[in-house]
A and B are shown apart, each in its own frame.
Chain A
Amino acid sequence: MKTYTAHIAVTLRRAILDVQGKAIEHALHSLHMPGLTNVRIGKHIELHVQAQDEESASSMIREACDKLLTNPVMEDYTFTLHEGVTA
């Protein structure tokens, strides 16, 4: 059994207006940073996974995201996985 660390990024689906992202984009522009656009606000979830291998760790993460960590009606997610534990 190995331990993996997963970093999961959750954002609103592209089709849904991200009003927090828009508000922050306006703030960036008022700070004279017009080159920064398309701000998306989301959540970062970090967790440890005990699994036989990377493939089964990935499938456990996908199940957790589909059942609880995200709502597919309004959110998309991506994740990265690496072996070991983040201090």
Chain B
Amino acid sequence: MNIGVVTFPGSNCDADARYASALTGNTVHALWHKDTSLPSSLDVIILPGGFSYGDYLRTGAIARFSTIMEEVVKFANGGGYVFGICNGFQILCESGLLPGALIRNENLSFVCKDVHLRIEKNDSPFTNVAQVGSVVRIPVAHGEGRFTAPAEVLASIEDNNQVLYRYSMPDGIITPEANPNGSLNNIAGITNIAGNVMGLMPHPERACEPLLGSSDGLHVFHSLAQQCKPKFA
């Protein structure tokens, strides 16, 4: 599978995303925010974490107008898989590829720790090797990760089963204590309605081998590889 990882000015998880992608046997393409075209072989685009454009104005607000984002939007609209991690999630919301917005954490603190996530569905290109209801331990590192949306938008996200991950206790129970940032409905990751665009605040690329304390993040990369396997093979 061919994975492209975009670097914006201020991205700081691009190398980690490339590392995790390569570790799972993929061909990795480093993409630059000024690129005006994408490699034709691309299956997946990752928008990595970081502080693109210094988080000026709003998180993701300026990156969203980068040259490459026109191509990313076209790629997504054509059915390509797009995965935004942390700042990448914020960019996807600003660009309108995902609903809602990510705002200042409820406790006003930057939160940097491992959290537990319950996988809500596995009929998704991002979780197809995982079990529904299983719990993974993956780190978060953000100051603006509180998922919010107007009531009617939140209702449609839930009605359309767009929630892929919720912050949970280690046993999978959803509680306010498990919620590190005050996100509505403990939402940690969602997809668009079509299911080919996903945003996730926690960092699976930082949990890709035991040496890092957890390899629970690998399931996303393995799922994408499974999804992109040639069907005739």
Contacts and interface: CB of A to CB of B under 8 A. Distances in A.
Physical interaction between A and B:
yes
Interface of A: 12, 15-17, 19-20, 23, 68-69, 71, 73-74
B102 to A, nearest CB: 9
A58 B16 CA distance: 45
Contact of A68 (B61, B104, B182): B61
B93 A73 contact: yes
B91 to A, nearest CB: 12
A69 B106 CA distance: 23
A73 B106 contact: no
A52 B112 CA distance: 51
A16 B149 CA distance: 9
A73 B104 contact: no
Interface string B53-91: 000011001000100000000000000000000000000
B103 interface: yes
A71 B108 contact: no
A27 B105 CA distance: 19
Contacts of A20: 104, 108
A73 B101 CA distance: 7
Interface residues of B, number: 21
A15 B149 CA distance: 10
Contacts of A16: 103, 148
Contact of A19 (B94, B99, B100, B106): B106
A23 B108 contact: yes
A15 B105 CA distance: 16
Contact of B150 (A15, A23, A68): A15
Given A17-B106, A19-B105, A23-B108, 8 more contacts: A12-B103, A16-B103, A71-B58, A71-B94, A73-B93, A73-B99, A73-B153, A74-B148
Nearest to B105: A19
Interface string B91-129: 001100001110111111000000000000000000000
26 contacts: A12-B103, A15-B150, A15-B151, A16-B103, A16-B148, A17-B106, A17-B182, A19-B106, A19-B107, A20-B108, A23-B108, A68-B57, A68-B61, A68-B65, A69-B57, A71-B101, A73-B93, A73-B99, A73-B100, A73-B101, A73-B148, A73-B149, A73-B150, A73-B153, A74-B103, A74-B148
Nearest to B62: A68
Interface in B116-166: 148-151, 153
Of A23, A68, A73, which is in contact with the most chain B CB atoms at under 10 Å from its CB?
A: A73
